[in-house]
Structure 1
Amino acid sequence: MTEKRTFADVLWRAVLYGWALSILFPLVWVIYESLKTNPEFFQNIWALPSRIQWQNYANAWNEYGFGRALLNTLYYVGGSLIVSLFFTTINAYALTRMQFKGRNLIWSLIMLSLFLPGVNALVPQYVVMRELGLTNSLTGLIILSSLGESVFYLMLLGGFMKSLPKDLEESATMDGASLFQIFWRVIVPLSTPGIVTVAIFKFMGYYNNFMGPFIYLSDPDKYPIAVQMYQANKLMEFSADWVTLFAGVTIAMIPSIIIFVLFQRLIMEGATMGAVKG
């Protein structure tokens, strides 16, 4: 039996479709303009290109440094993701599955950080990074990103781990497993959906991170993609080569779009599991 749709249902669907189009239209427009020449772009932004200009992508990759920036981003995001994901997983396990004195106090202090603007930590963080000789270094940026824990990720993964039955750990303890073996061989495999969800959110955050690399990196050859886009945009004040910039923006969008398309179901399921089971 089909469900009868009311006028309100149709109205809300129309609103949602319009909202989706308002998000997709600028992305499609950028890709569309990246296939033109500069004269065609300035003459009529809506006209079809007389000939598709794939050379714009080669220029963005080589001349504007988007290729080098993507390699830097791969190193920065990959390193930060691996190290920080391990710390987040083991912290969530310790705070949700282990009983020890002061655990509630630690959780309270962590929750308190939600009310502190992140910009307040920029100056002390920079001073510490400078004294340790980690400025202007992608490796230093990885260390900073990995050690800066996020309450959101702890709550998401902690809520998922909290739903696992205690009997599993008790059985493993009776079989002689150590604390780390229980964590690595029991909790981690069972928490894979939540870990994957956190990994995707972290990837998006690191990939789109602009403030950190912009502050700590002074060598243009080390810029990740977010800062490189900013630098390319500044060059438009002198060259006005907008179609090449659009091609660079399209290149920068591709990894995020691929990750979201491949893992969108896990993102939705993992976020829902963490919210409901926690």
Structure 2
Amino acid sequence: MSQIIAKKVAIIERRRSVMDLIWRVLLFLWGLSIIFPVVWILVQSLRSNADFFQNIWGVPTQFQWRNYYEAWTGYNIGKSMLNTLYYVGVGLVLGTFLTALNAYALTRITFRGRKLIWSIIMLSLFLPGINALIPQYILMKTLHLTNNLTGLIVLDSFGENVFFLMLLGGFMSSLPKDLEESGYVDGATLFQVFWRIIVPLSTPGIVTVAIFKFLGLYNNFLGPFIYLSDPAKYTIGVNMYQANMRMSYTADWVTMFAGVMIVMVPSIIIYILFQRRIMEGATLGATKG
């Protein structure tokens, strides 16, 4: 009997090892499909246009570092980077603060209609965001907030993301009520309890939301593309889109690739610095809610 059980266990372990190998190969291929385009763009950004059109899979015979200078000056990346810095910086601070405040109000404060508000928020998950595009544009136009980076910040900051609200709300709801009650006993106001007690304890979740918001704002294209008409106010996403449109009559692809690599640097740095915090914060928010 024991021999039969041992054989079955051996068969199961063998199957598991085969499945583990298959999954690892699939994950390796998936990772390769993500890394390869980035490496290819990096290699092509260091070639000349003549070499590129002769063989798009070739390697640089001589490194053309000037492509990066041409991209920086020709595509006005410096100005668009400053616009993006203002848009992302202010939008990140204001949006994260409002998300934390909304999550606190909906999870820690008891008031009439709270469940109804949560239900409406959850219902919005099933509605395509594109449906709000026309009403939002009419509202922005009426308030004279189009072609304005500040107006774009207001739109993105007050347009709450349900995922971030659920993530941070789930994290805050796990905190013990005794902390707030002790703050009230000491004479703290509602906002002081939020700012001095809840926010410090919710730092992992807030940092996670802030990182996701940064990536979302930095990579945002549709909003700036619709609401900004002045090239001097373009964010980096719209600016690179306009640079791509030039390829129909210039075909200066190596300079375009160099511009793409410059634009990717901030996102890559943020990912390298905060990848562990992203995973930890997302896990905490998911398991404690």
Q: Shorter-chain TM-score: which interval?
A: over 0.9
Q: Secondary structure at the match of 1:47?
A: coil
- Equivalents in 2 of 1:20, 1:48: separation in Å? 22
1:83 matches 2:104: no
1:29 aligned partner: 40
2:25 aligned partner: 14
Q: How much has 1:116 moved relative to structure 2? A: 1.4
Match of 1:173 among 181, 184, 190: 184
Q: How much has 1:174 moved relative to structure 2? A: 1.0
Q: How much has 1:47 moved relative to structure 2? A: 2.3
1:61 matches 2:49: no
Q: How much has 1:64 moved relative to structure 2? A: 1.1
RMSD: 1.2
- Equivalents in 2 of 1:134, 1:209: separation in Å? 18
- Equivalents in 2 of 1:215, 1:168: separation in Å? 45
Match of 2:167 among 156, 170, 179: 156
Amino acid at match of 1:186: I
Q: How much has 1:48 moved relative to structure 2? A: 2.3
Provide Cα deviations, 1:67-114, integer angstroms capped at 9, x if missing partner.
Answer: 211111111111111111111000000000111111001111111111
- Equivalents in 2 of 1:13, 1:114: separation in Å? 33
Match of 1:252 among 237, 255, 263: 263
- Equivalents in 1 of 2:227, 2:86: separation in Å? 16
1:193 matches 2:223: no
Match of 2:103 among 82, 89, 92: 92
Q: Secondary structure at the match of 2:60?
A: coil
Identity of aligned residues (%): 67
Q: How much has 1:260 moved relative to structure 2? A: 0.7
Q: Secondary structure at the match of 2:146?
A: coil
- Equivalents in 2 of 1:46, 1:111: separation in Å? 48
Provide Cα deviations, 1:104-146, integer angstroms capped at 9, x if missing partner.
Answer: 0111111111111111111111111111111101111011111
1:121 matches 2:140: no
Please give the TM-score of this superposition, normalised by the length of structure 1.
Answer: 0.97
- Equivalents in 1 of 2:200, 2:17: separation in Å? 45
Q: Is the 8 A contact 2:44 2:59 kept in 1?
A: no
- Equivalents in 1 of 2:132, 2:28: separation in Å? 40
Q: How much has 1:28 moved relative to structure 2? A: 0.6
1:138 matches 2:139: no
Q: Secondary structure at the match of 1:26?
A: helix
- Equivalents in 1 of 2:186, 2:142: separation in Å? 48
- Equivalents in 1 of 2:233, 2:67: separation in Å? 23
1:183 matches 2:200: no
Amino acid at match of 1:115: F
Amino acid at match of 1:272: T
- Equivalents in 2 of 1:57, 1:74: separation in Å? 20
- Unaligned segments of structure 2, at least 5 residues: 1-12
2:9 aligned partner: none
- Unaligned segments of structure 1, at least 5 residues: none
- Equivalents in 1 of 2:122, 2:48: separation in Å? 52
Q: How many residue pairs were aligned? A: 276
- Equivalents in 1 of 2:59, 2:130: separation in Å? 44
Q: Which has the larger radius of gyration?
A: 2
- Equivalents in 2 of 1:266, 1:68: separation in Å? 31
- Equivalents in 2 of 1:246, 1:265: separation in Å? 29
Q: How much has 1:248 moved relative to structure 2? A: 0.6
- Equivalents in 1 of 2:181, 2:158: separation in Å? 31
- Equivalents in 1 of 2:158, 2:205: separation in Å? 20
- Equivalents in 1 of 2:26, 2:190: separation in Å? 51
Please give the TM-score of this superposition, normalised by the length of structure 2.
Answer: 0.93
